[in-house]
Amino acid sequence: MRKVVGLAVAIVVALGITAVACLRAVEASGTSAPAPGMHVTTSTKTYSVAVAGRMRSYQVIAPTTALPKSDPIIVMLSGLGSTVGQEISRDRLVNYASDNDAEIVYPVAFGESWNAGGCCGRAYADKVDDVDFLKALVAKVDPGRARGIDVVGYSNGARLAYRIACTDPSLFDAYAMVKGAPPTDCPLDEPVSMLVAASKNDPEVPYQPGDHGSVESLPMTTLVSRLRGADKCTAAPAQARSGSVTVATWSGCGDGTRLSFAVWTGGVHSFPRPPASVPAAAQVIWAFFTKAALAPLPS
């Protein structure tokens, strides 16, 4: 009987030693946490913040494991008349959270609209303070500015992002404006790193002088020319072509900022994505934010 007990104890001790050895091997190999670029599980959490007497909310989509501080937070401002779910399905930015590369934040628009000054929808009619909402949101999702935080705006959302670039340009590290124009009282005279995305056949936002825009009047080529002056972009741009998009990028502008102008040959006023627009706007935006070469969209 003593022999049996002794044998059982020996087996338990051996298994314990093996388990510890295996655990140490995993820790030493660094496989206890997923590597950047590896497909991971994400979580979606909704938060609220009080701004100017209103409760506002936002969704955060991030990997379930903590991201390193070098990975960005991207705030996405939806287009007019869109829910967060609709925006997620078209902009494809969540793919970068699933790829363990970023945290994506979707502020919830008031009445599916943003008050960007001069427009739009219920947010403008009710004089909603969306500028202070974004300031409060940034303070919540990136307290102490420990990480880089960028913003993407589409259409009405782009107009609000321009408003921020005029009134509080340092709120975000970089801006990506997709098929939108700044309010008329927004001079954009402070250097900021900005990507302007446009389509040559957009019926709402004119591409060049002589084009008619049913919503905006400022041509995108004229806007980019003004931004080049404000950002002090004196060097010739680097030109890149991929699929239906051409991207001109000016580096080394004022205060170390960058300016990019991405132009799709088609796509009208929709958010650029396959199959109508290749590559997707998400790919171009990610390359601009991360200062990397254009790469395939994570699945």
Tell me the pLDDT tens digit for each residue of 173-218: 999 999 999 999 998 999 999 999 999 999 999 999 999 999 999 9
Nearest Cα residue to 73 out of 160, 144, 165: 144
For residues 144 and 60, membership in a common domain is answered with yes
Which CATH number fits the domain that encloses residue 65? 3.40.50.1820
Give mean pLDDT, residues 35-47. Answer: 83
For residues 23 and 47, membership in a common domain is answered with no
In a domain, residue 297? The reply is no
For residues 74 and 169, membership in a common domain is answered with yes
For residues 48 and 161, membership in a common domain is answered with yes
Tell me the pLDDT tens digit for each residue of 268-291: 999 999 999 999 999 999 999 999
| 266 pLDDT higher than 90 | yes
Residues 6+ apart with CB under 8 A from 136: 49, 51, 56
In a domain, residue 299? The reply is no
In a domain, residue 90? The reply is yes
For residues 121 and 7, membership in a common domain is answered with no
State the pLDDT at residue 117.
Answer: 83
For residues 13 and 132, membership in a common domain is answered with no
Q: How confident is the model at residue 228 (pLDDT cuts 50, 70, 90)?
A: very high
Count of the separate structural domains present in the chain: 2
For residues 134 and 153, membership in a common domain is answered with yes
State the pLDDT at residue 39.
Answer: 77
Radius of gyration of the chain (CA): 23
Give mean pLDDT, residues 139-168. Answer: 96
For residues 100 and 196, membership in a common domain is answered with yes
For residues 208 and 160, membership in a common domain is answered with yes
* C-alpha–C-alpha distance, residues 219 and 39, integer Å: 40
In a domain, residue 126? The reply is yes
State the pLDDT at residue 34.
Answer: 57
For residues 25 and 126, membership in a common domain is answered with no
In a domain, residue 188? The reply is yes
For residues 89 and 4, membership in a common domain is answered with no
Give mean pLDDT, residues 246-263. Answer: 96
Element (H, E) at 247: strand 245-250
Question: What's the chain's average pLDDT?
Answer: 88
Residue 51's domain comprises 42-290
In a domain, residue 6? The reply is yes
Residue type, 254: G
For residues 99 and 22, membership in a common domain is answered with no
Enter the pTM of the model.
0.87
Q: How confident is the model at residue 299 (pLDDT cuts 50, 70, 90)?
A: confident
